[in-house]
Structure 1
């Protein structure tokens, strides 16, 4: 609510790009700065649950499915795809999965794959994790990004963390020679861990299972210890602060 209240007036003022279904687009000049501000406001509004933002994203996806024409402006496709996948049913996930396989555009392929990790359906997230490592349906160079993005999804954090530990030997055998890949994977999967249980699991993995991880695991351990300490000391105070009425930011 705090973030929504902070951005609401400016979001409704800026609106969406004008070329979409039922779009409440703005007629402001489309300079680079304006497009970036509009994109940022749409991202915040959709991420934090603005209902109009959700309706607009769903309308874009529904139009794409019914017409088989993608009229979603390229600079907000990642936001719309992710929002649609998170809000809509399994058929939409399958549609995005199909489009991921049918497109040859590298940048579009990357956006579609990341959108698949936005689902709230843990069955689909588990399916994606398993497909990424055990089939040739996901390019090998994208497997680490899939695991990391599932871990950044609140619904997928524990799934990705469990999958990482269970499949570490396979992952390390495949990517271990590229130390930067291992480091990217370890930091990406652990950066949002913040409970005492997760900290204990990380300590156990560091001591018994993380062979070949190099210095990335000790660094991850420091970060997670900091996360747990912050939550223990400041979480209640932080939520109390968020409940206070926000002071006006935009005119």
Structure 2
């Protein structure tokens, strides 16, 4: 189900994964989250869900593994998302004391994504348009 391209279904699946007695085993909640976060349609849904339900998720899984944050954010490529990630970490760093290095690496990775896009997007777009492939590009 984590592969579907229907946002409403992905949202429902996320809700069920972190709801006791929903039919999804507690130990499978992280697998569900990661599947949705690795889905192009679900990535933003997973990030918003993580932010909006942080305390509930943290209590449900008895601490949030860094891989949840990484899977939701590692493909971020905009200044807006970078800012959100920094603010998120600042707000929750007390709950992630053992993940400072992992978080620094993730922030560096996203900063690199933002810089790469800023430096190369126009050039790559022009080339793809010249090859007749512009219709395949996601917006940034």
Task: Give the TM-score normalised by structure 2.
Answer: 0.78
Where does structure 2 lack aligned partners over 5 or more consecutive residues? 133-140
Post-superposition shift, 1:122? 1.1
Deviations 1:177-228 (A, max 9, x none): xxxx712212111111111111111111111134322223222211111111
Q: Aligned residue for 1:130?
A: 15
Q: Please give the residue correspondences for 1:1-251 in structure 2 after superposition, counting only pairs within 5 Å.
A: 116-136=1-21, 137-173=23-59, 174-176=61-63, 182-213=65-96, 214-215=99-100, 216-243=102-129, 244=131
Within 2, Cα distance between the matches of 1:149 and 1:200?
A: 24
Structure with greater Cα Rg: 1
> Residues of 2 paired with 1:218 and 1:159: CA distance?
23
Alpha-carbon contact 1:175-1:182 (below 8 Å) kept: no
CA distance in 2, matches of 1:218, 1:172: 20
Moved over 4 A (4+): none
**2:30–2:68 CA contact under 8 A, matched in 1:** yes
SS in 2 for 1:134: coil
Q: Structure with the greater relative contact order (CA < 8 A, sep ≥ 6): 1 or 2? A: 2
In structure 1, C-alpha distance between the alignment counterparts of 2:8 and 2:20, rounded to whole Å: 17
Q: How many residues align?
A: 126
Residue 149 and residue 236 in structure 1: after superposition, are their counterparts in 2 closer, same or farther (change >3 A)?
farther
3-state secondary structure, aligned to 1:211: helix
RMSD (CA atoms): 2.0
Check conservation: 1:168, 1:210, Cα contact below 8 A: no
